[in-house]
Structure 1
Amino acid sequence: MKHLIAKSGDIAEGGRIVRDVAATTVGVFRVAGQLYAYENTCPHQGGPVCQGLLIPRVEEKLNAARGAEGFRFDETDPRLVCPWHGFEFSLTTGCHPGSAEIRLTAFEVTEEGGMVYVGV
């Protein structure tokens, strides 16, 4: 079932909104013009994952000999970090970087007529 969660303007670029919808709490994020919606429950131990830190993906830069040359930030793949234990998830896929089987529960999110709706 589709539920109204916010006005489009309430979710700025790079921002989020966390709302109770039906019997669950949902976080909706706007990144690079796209909307993503996830249940606000970390699969690790049930923490409020949608209220965690949003950071770019951190990569170790390697040279041709596979030697480390320092870190860099990949702004194209933002990460959501659970505030309880630091479990990290790709905001665009909902997957944990170490295992695609550990993932956030995603919901369909649409934007119509200046309003944002989530299917829960």
Structure 2
Amino acid sequence: MTEVFVCSAAELGEGSVKVVAAGSREIGVIRRKGQCYAYLNQCPHQGGPVCEGVRIPKVETVLNDELQFFGHTFSEDVDHIVCPWHGYEYNLETGVCVGDAGLQLKRYELVEREGGIYVVI
């Protein structure tokens, strides 16, 4: 296994993304709610630059006491990343596609040490 330097931990602020070249691959590193996630910057749908897409909270359906539709709200716990090419959404923590659980982002391990962030390939 090889470690590729991404950036200093201070450079990757809350909600930011850093895309780095790792050989022939591009890997996106995202910091959200204090956690860092690293994924291949390639949407499994048709290869779009998924890590460069917007990050949004999961949209949740709100039901009333009779279990009838009452509206929508945004999750405070679950975030999605949206591929900019075709809008495929992926759970940021797991990499699993929201609309098709058979699609999943390729995840990489991250190491933080001595003030730096490294991706393991």
Q: Is the TM-score greater than 0.5?
A: yes
Give 2:4's aligned residue. Answer: 3
| Structure 1: runs of 5+ lacking an equivalent | none
Task: Tell me the distance in 2 between the aligned counterparts of 1:96 and 1:109.
Answer: 21
Give 1:100's aligned residue. Answer: 101
Q: CA deviation at 1:64?
A: 2.9
Give 2:23's aligned residue. Answer: 22
The alignment partner of 1:9 has SS state of: helix
The alignment partner of 1:19 has SS state of: strand
Give 1:113's aligned residue. Answer: 114
Task: Tell me the distance in 1 between the aligned counterparts of 2:120 and 2:102.
Answer: 22
Q: Cα RMSD over matched residues?
A: 1.0
Q: CA deviation at 1:3?
A: 1.0
Q: AA paired with 2:63?
A: L
Q: AA paired with 2:112?
A: E
Task: Tell me the distance in 1 between the aligned counterparts of 2:95 and 2:8.
Answer: 23
Superposed CA deviations along residues 62-84 of structure 1, whole A, max 9, x for unmatched, are 12322111111013111100000
The alignment partner of 1:47 has SS state of: coil
Give 1:62's aligned residue. Answer: 63
Task: Tell me the distance in 1 between the aligned counterparts of 2:95 and 2:15.
Answer: 16
Percent identity over the alignment is 41
| Structure 2: runs of 5+ lacking an equivalent | none
Give 2:34's aligned residue. Answer: 33
Higher strand share: 1
Q: CA deviation at 1:34?
A: 0.7
Give me the TM-score of the superposition, normalised by structure 2. Answer: 0.94
Contact 1:61-1:70 within 8 A present in 2 as well: yes
Superposed CA deviations along residues 24-71 of structure 1, whole A, max 9, x for unmatched, are 000001111111000000000000000001101001111232211111
Q: CA deviation at 1:23?
A: 1.6
Give me the TM-score of the superposition, normalised by structure 1. Answer: 0.95
